[in-house]
Structure 1
Amino acid sequence: MKTKHFILKLAVSCIFLGSTYAIASPALSNNSTNQILDLPAKAPGTILSIQAQDTDLFTNASQRFLINYRSRGVQSEPIVASGFILLPKGKAPKGGWPVLAWAHGTTGVADTCAPSNDFAGGPVHVYQQIAAKALNAWLARGYAVVAPDYQGLGTPGGHPYMNAQSQLHTVVDAVRATHLLKPYQFSKNWYVMGHSQGGAASLAVAAFGPKDAPELNLRGAIALAPGGYQYEGIAEYVATQTKIDPSVAAFFPIVLLGAEAADPSITPTNLVSPEMEKVLDYARKRCLSELQSDLKEAPKTVFKSNANLTPLTNYLKKQSIDNMTPNVPLLLVQGDKDQLVDYRGTYAYYQQVCKERKPMAFHPVKNGDHRDSLRQSEFLIGDFINSVEQGKPVNTCSAK
């Protein structure tokens, strides 16, 4: 039972949780309204629409823009993705503002769960309030911030939740889009930071981003309580338990629907019990926070007795962070009392990367819960950035 419980804590690691030429977007006035850009280019990062917004929670931002941009999906097919860009206050330095790409944690798979659509009292607002404090710290340091929603959140198609390829693309292409926001100037230097689901996204970017976007200069990555270690374990756990916790029952439909969005041959309705199918239908329309508050009791059975789970578990295993070895300096932050992403799983990933002799620092948050890694990030980024920019070693592996 202890082993299975460990697998659950490792696996339920994501809760809160064409053309080759580029073209520039038009200059924006401070009072600009929604602009739909009639652009023929389909290069990744092409801005398709842009709208000025209130800075709202982002007190250190001078301007905020909602964007739709061209990106790439699970199979590198062209897609439309959404997100927002925040500009810091003051004049851009010579060479332009450096960029932070922010990869958010799990919100759900419904369009209403897109963080760029957040509003006071909305289903992702509490999480956005915490994230805003972390992003304000980057803005205060003179970084522009771009925050993609991921594929299928607020845009056509399903959200392939935790798909490594898709998350890599939507993050990298959001940075490309930022560079097309004229007349503003941005440096080619950039960092990526993500929490929970976004922590896994940041690890995918750290591993594959430099090759995916060689025209940009990825300086480092920060993964806060990253989800996805031994990701297939959640399906194995749910299949073997006679009773699961309501929090698992609320989260698991997101895993199933995400897998289906990435691979339509994985059909959740063919796998789950009639009782679980009702939860699945609810998850298509509601966000994780709503599922957690509304689901008071878990279904007695999750899978049909004859369900073939092999395609599902094989797919989930391919998305695990175990497959991602960073190629830039990495800061890994993890609360040691996190009940959603198990400290032991994150530490196991840390040990795995240490064996590869990659520049990596591990920072445990004493008595920290799942969101404390995000809350503490604003106090940790300074030393990490300074070390990277000054060429100092970023490595705690020898201190294990």
Structure 2
Amino acid sequence: MGSPVRVLAAVATLVLAASCTPGGEVRPPSSTTLSPAAADPGELLEPPEDFVGYAALDDLTSAAVTVRYRSTSARDGSPTAVTGVVFVPNGIPPAGGWPVVAVGHATSGTASRCAPSTHTGLLGSLPTVLPFLANGYLVTMTDYEGLGTSDEHPYLDARTAGYNVLDSVRAARAVTGDAGARWVGYGVSQGGQAVWAANEAAANYAGELSLLGTISASPATDLSPIVDEMTEGTLTEEQIVVLPSLIRGLQVVHPDLVRSDYLRGQLADRADVFAACEGENTALQADIAARTTPADYAPVDDAAADRLRDWLRQARVPTSTASAPMFVGYGEEDRLTLPQWTIDAAREACERGSTVLLRGAPGQGHGILDFGVAPAEWLRDRYAGTPAPSSCAEVR
């Protein structure tokens, strides 16, 4: 959800000891092309290809490739093809291999062409990737199911995105034997939801990997309260802009969803405007949102509202105990995913037995969050094996 955002300021200060001498090799590609049905989760479906990006990447990487790998749809457990990128840092990997960070990118769009791996600047995610590479992390970033492939994108379907993140770590280890088993997840907005869901699924879905923790900034958690706002006519303009994509993503998972039950006027007539990739139609989307009336998005009846609420609850996080500690941050002035939604999700995660450090950013909105050195210190402590701090006593 929301615009691609700057990486948390503190992430740029991460320090991880690693030599800067050239080293590390990508495994020689196989000429074999596999179908998802014939592959294991995370297995490469075709040889990696060089990623062509900005010069800043060349200075920080020994290898930069796009990948196509097998993942899993949470809708029915079927195998899927998913694309993404893997960046191997310069230097000689430490004992145990490069520590891995799996990045969950913010909303880039819902069309296949909006896959970050097909854009030189990763559709706004490059500033997130660079600090990790500079500090000795191997970075893997999934496009998510339906972006970069012929499938449709189940936007904000947390479980599917979580599987995509987990399998991106496996794909990175298939790209290079220098990738370690220890990894952390970092995501903003849609990506914050994706790494949260990956954390919950990690122990059962990818138990051979060692997840140390995840950072979710401005995550999309349980979005079902938005239905009350739709009914009451109180959606913010930021929420109106995202609503057509949210409805479209739900329709991929629930084909019986009728768009006209929730979208009318220009929200329905100008679907092309809202299907654009991130940054393409920002001004026009804002203009339509400013002219939208409550009648354009009110559920057609109570039954439609109940269906939408149930579908959103099915797509939410949390739904189970996290496999590893979580750092969850939100902007106290967030007008897209409201602060109380994040607080409530953290409370539920705590009640399920998860270890959650919850932090609010005063005066900050959606995505653009600065927590000082707190995230860097939190990550450092996860690698050091220090017991993770918890806010659960405060939010219960």
TM range (shorter): 0.7 to 0.9
Secondary structure at 1:214 match in 2: coil
* 1:156 positional shift: 1.3
Give the counterpart letter for 1:44 in structure 2.
Answer: P
Q: Would the aligned equivalents of 2:87 and 2:140 in 1 still touch at CA under 8 Å?
A: yes
Give the equivalent residue in structure 1 for 2:269. 278
* 1:238 positional shift: 2.1
Give the equivalent residue in structure 2 for 1:292. 282
Q: Select which of 202, 213, 216 maps to 2:209.
A: 216
Q: Select which of 246, 251, 257 maps to 1:266.
A: 257
Cα distance in 2 for partners of 1:351, 1:365 equals: 18
Cα distance in 2 for partners of 1:194, 1:223 equals: 5
Q: Select which of 208, 213, 226 maps to 1:234.
A: 226
* 1:142 positional shift: 1.9
Q: Would the aligned equivalents of 1:359 and 1:395 in 2 still touch at CA under 8 Å?
A: yes
Query: Which structure 1 residue ranges, 5 or more long, are not aligned?
Result: 1-13, 18-24, 29-34
Cα distance in 1 for partners of 2:237, 2:359 equals: 31
* 1:311 positional shift: 2.5
Secondary structure at 1:294 match in 2: helix
1:257/1:364 CA distance change after superposition, 3 Å: same
Q: How does 1:243-254 map to 2 (within 5 A)?
A: 245-254=236-245
Give the equivalent residue in structure 1 for 2:21. none
Cα distance in 1 for partners of 2:213, 2:299 equals: 44
* 1:399 positional shift: 7.2
Give the equivalent residue in structure 2 for 1:16. 3
Q: Would the aligned equivalents of 2:71 and 2:81 in 1 still touch at CA under 8 Å?
A: yes
Alpha-carbon deviations, 1:189-241, whole Å to 9, x = none?
11111111111111111112111111111111111111123x11223322331
Q: Would the aligned equivalents of 1:203 and 1:324 in 2 still touch at CA under 8 Å?
A: no
* 1:54 positional shift: 3.5
Q: How does 1:1-400 map to 2 (within 5 A)?
A: 14-16=1-3, 27=28, 37-39=32-34, 41-49=38-46, 50-56=48-54, 57-58=56-57, 59-73=59-73, 74-119=75-120, 125=123, 127-128=124-125, 132-182=126-176, 184-229=177-222, 231-241=223-233, 245-269=236-260, 271-273=262-264, 275-284=266-275, 286-295=276-285, 296-298=287-289, 299-300=292-293, 301-302=296-297, 305=300, 308-373=304-369, 379-397=373-391, 400=394
* 1:395 positional shift: 1.5
Cα distance in 2 for partners of 1:140, 1:62 equals: 12
Secondary structure at 2:202 match in 1: helix
Secondary structure at 2:141 match in 1: strand
Query: Which structure 2 residue ranges, 5 or more long, are not aligned?
Result: 5-25
Secondary structure at 2:45 match in 1: strand
* 1:55 positional shift: 4.8
Q: Would the aligned equivalents of 2:357 and 2:392 in 1 still touch at CA under 8 Å?
A: no
Cα distance in 2 for partners of 1:344, 1:175 equals: 32
Cα distance in 2 for partners of 1:319, 1:290 equals: 27
Q: Would the aligned equivalents of 1:64 and 1:86 in 2 still touch at CA under 8 Å?
A: yes
TM-score, scaled relative to structure 2: 0.82
Alpha-carbon deviations, 1:376-399, whole Å to 9, x = none?
58x444312232233322124277
Alpha-carbon deviations, 1:61-112, whole Å to 9, x = none?
3321011111111322111111100111101222211211110111221122
1:186/1:201 CA distance change after superposition, 3 Å: same
Give the counterpart letter for 1:117 in structure 2.
Answer: T
1:368/1:273 CA distance change after superposition, 3 Å: closer
Give the counterpart letter for 1:85 in structure 2.
Answer: V
